[in-house]
Chain A
Amino acid sequence: MVRDITLGQYMPGHSLIHQMDARMKTVLLLAYIVFIFLCKNFISLLIMALFSLLVIFMTKISFMKYLKSLRVIMVVILLTGVMNIFYGSGTVLWQWWELKITTGGLINAAFVVVRIAMLMMVSSVLTYTTSPTDLTDGLERLMKPLTIFHVKVHEIAMMMTIALRFIPVLLEETDKIMNAQKARGADMESGHLVKRVKALIPVLIPLFVSAFRRAGDLATAMECRCYNGGKNRTRMKVLHLSGKDSGAAAVCVLLFGSVIFSNLYFPAVI
Chain B
Amino acid sequence: MSVLQVENLRFVYGTDTAFEKTALDDVSFTIESGEFIGIIGHTGSGKSTLVQLLNGLLRPTEGRVLLDGKDIWEHPKKIRQIRFKVGMVFQYPEYQLFEETVYKDIAFGPGNMGLKEDEIDQRVRQAAAFTGLREEQLSCSPFELSGGEKRRAAIAGVIAMDPDVLILDEPTAGLDPLGREALLAKIADYHKVRNNTVLLVSHSMEDIAKSTDRVLVMDHGKKVMLDRTDAVFSKGDELEKIGLRVPQITRIMWLLKEKGIPVDTSVLTVEKGFQEIVKILSSQ
Contact = CB atoms under 8 A, between A and B. Distances in A.
Nearest to A186: B112
B161 A185 contact: yes
B162 to A, nearest CB: 12
B97 A206 contact: yes
A201 interface: yes
Given A184-B161, A202-B108, A179 B80 contact: no
Contact of A179 (B57, B143, B158): B57
A52 interface: no
A183 B95 contact: no
Interface residues of B, number: 22
Interface string A180-205: 11111111000000000000011001
Nearest to A180: B96
Contacts of A185: 80, 83-84, 108-109, 112-113, 161
B95 A176 contact: yes
Interface string B69-94: 00000000000100110011010010
A178 to B, nearest CB: 9
Nearest to A187: B80
Given A202-B108, A205-B98, A206-B98, A183 B158 contact: yes
A209 interface: yes
A183 B90 contact: yes
Contacts of B97: 206
A171 to B, nearest CB: 15
Contacts of A173: 95
B273 interface: no
Contacts of A164: none
B157 interface: yes
Interface in A198-237: 201-202, 205-206, 209-210
Given A177-B95, A179-B90, A206-B96, A184 B157 contact: yes
A184 B108 contact: yes
A201 B112 contact: no
B83 to A, nearest CB: 6
B112 A183 contact: no
Interface in A149-184: 173, 176-177, 179-184
A183 to B, nearest CB: 4
A202 B98 contact: yes
Interface in B146-173: 157-158, 161
B55 interface: yes
A30 B133 CA distance: 61
B234 interface: no
B52 interface: yes
B19 to A, nearest CB: 10
14 contacts: A180-B90, A180-B93, A181-B96, A183-B88, A184-B109, A184-B157, A184-B161, A185-B80, A185-B113, A187-B112, A202-B108, A206-B95, A209-B143, A210-B95
Interface of B: 52, 55, 57, 80, 83-84, 87-88, 90, 93, 95-98, 108-109, 112-113, 143, 157-158, 161
The 4 A-B residue pairs with the shortest CB-CB distance, nearest first, are: A185-B112, A205-B98, A180-B96, A184-B109
